[in-house]
Amino acid sequence: MTAELETTVHGRVAPGFEGVRDVFVANFAERGDLGAAVSVYHHGEEVVGLWGGVAERSTGRPYGEDTLQLVFSTSKGVVAVCVGLLIERGQLDPDAPVAEYWPEFAAGGKAGIPVSSLLCHEAGLPVLEGHLDLDELLAWDPVVEMLAAQTPLWEPGTAHGYHALTFGWLVGELIRRISGRTVGTFLADEVSGPLGLDLWIGLPEAQESRVAPLTMSFDSLATMDPEELAQLAARFAPDSLGFRAVFLDGSFGVFSEENSLLNSRELRAAEVPAANAVTTADSLGRLYAATIGEIDGVRLLAPSTVDALRTPRNLGPDLVLGGDTSFGLGMMCHNDYTPFLGPGSFGHYGAGGSVAFADPASGTAFAYVMNKMQMDLNGDDRSLLLIHAVRDAIG
């Protein structure tokens, strides 16, 4: 392996994976990346570990191997791994009613909703039916109490719609009720600790100096087909279900350079499990590698549990996002809207460009994180071309 590859890109690449390096370098030269990192594991061994660019424009701080990044909905895959551990230990039955673990959830006609409906975005609870101030949104109890009292927007199990933010509170409360620990504490104890990962939901203040601030790019809108742009605008208009779900009626602001909340200590310190995991590319790559194989003596999930997480439970029009999405138990499944390495791959994309997944068939785990966000919820050319290069490398 090489120690240093280019003036702005550093890291390691195993023979045969040079094409991944070439795409990563081109992301900076041709696709506007600012600071980013990519990690690939193949059959339990690191084959790509690259990082480069600038972590912080204002200071010129370089993007390093240990630079931390908030990864938005890539967080959901992390939460799904925690769920997998509870399923494997017999503490959580996906087919049991949510109310069996969380009695208050039975309100609003939800007594029969199974756990799988929460995990597969079928529960009809993608929005909050009431206003909460930001401090209440970040405090946990006010949100889960509101969700427990709500009536579903559609009959659970009959359709699916992306629970962009509510997923984390719903599933996180299940984890808390079963384990007696918040999702952030459970993650630290059961996943990050055993694997030695830099991965948190609820970032310790001592780690703040390592975080790369996010910036927003609207470049992708300039090249979008006018009809597609009009559809996007309608899907996320202020009164739309998409806007209400993704931005909680604007409570978290919208993606813009002016939205200081996205780069605040306040957000990173809280536990918003659907969207505020802070991590590195290598830690995400190791996490997914440990779901399908052994990493440094640790394997997180048995093959049968992985199969439960990655088996598609739905496929079709998403009532929130509009495209055809497919979900297993908390994981996005490979399809045209969320492409990974192929059928059977599982993981999660994050708003702006981050993505992490595993492909059991090829024994591959992949993670890409960045600080320059594009206007996408399901990846862009930066990650897609890296994934294509990985596919070419493994044959």
Exposed/middle/buried for residue 298 (C-beta within 10 Å: 0-12, 13-18, 19+): middle
The separation between CA 222 and the C-alpha centre of its own chain, rounded to angstroms, equals 26
Joined together, the tokens standing for residue 282 give 């290598």
What DSSP designation does 109 have? G
Q: 317 - beta bridge partners? A: 324
Q: Are strands 372-373 and 215-216 parallel, antiparallel or unpaired?
A: parallel
Q: Find, among 168, 154, 172, 83, the residue nearest to 113 by Cα.
A: 154
Given phi > 0 = left and psi -120 to 50 = alpha, else beta, which region is 72? left
Q: Judge whether 116 counts as a catalytic residue.
A: no
Residue partners of 7: CB distance under 8 A and separation at least 6: none
What DSSP designation does 253 have? -
Torsion over CA of 71, 74, 76 and 81, rounded to 10 degrees?
A: -110
Give the active site residue among 73, 116, 283, 326: 73
Residue 4, classed as helix, strand or coil, is strand
**How far is 392 from 317, CA to CA, in rounded Å?**
30
In 187-211, which positions are buried (b, 16+ CB within 10 angstroms) versus exposed (e)? Answer: bbebbbeebebbbbbbbeeeeeebb
Residue partners of 199: CB distance under 8 A and separation at least 6: 78, 187, 191, 192, 277, 278, 279, 280, 283, 284, 287
Joined together, the tokens standing for residue 179 give 């384990």
User: How does DSSP assign 299-355, residue by residue?
Assistant: --S-HHHHHHHHS-SEEEE-TTT-SEEEESSSSEE-SSSS--SSTT-EEEE-TTS-E
Q: Are strands 35-42 and 61-62 parallel, antiparallel or unpaired?
A: unpaired
Q: Kindly list the catalytic residues.
A: 73
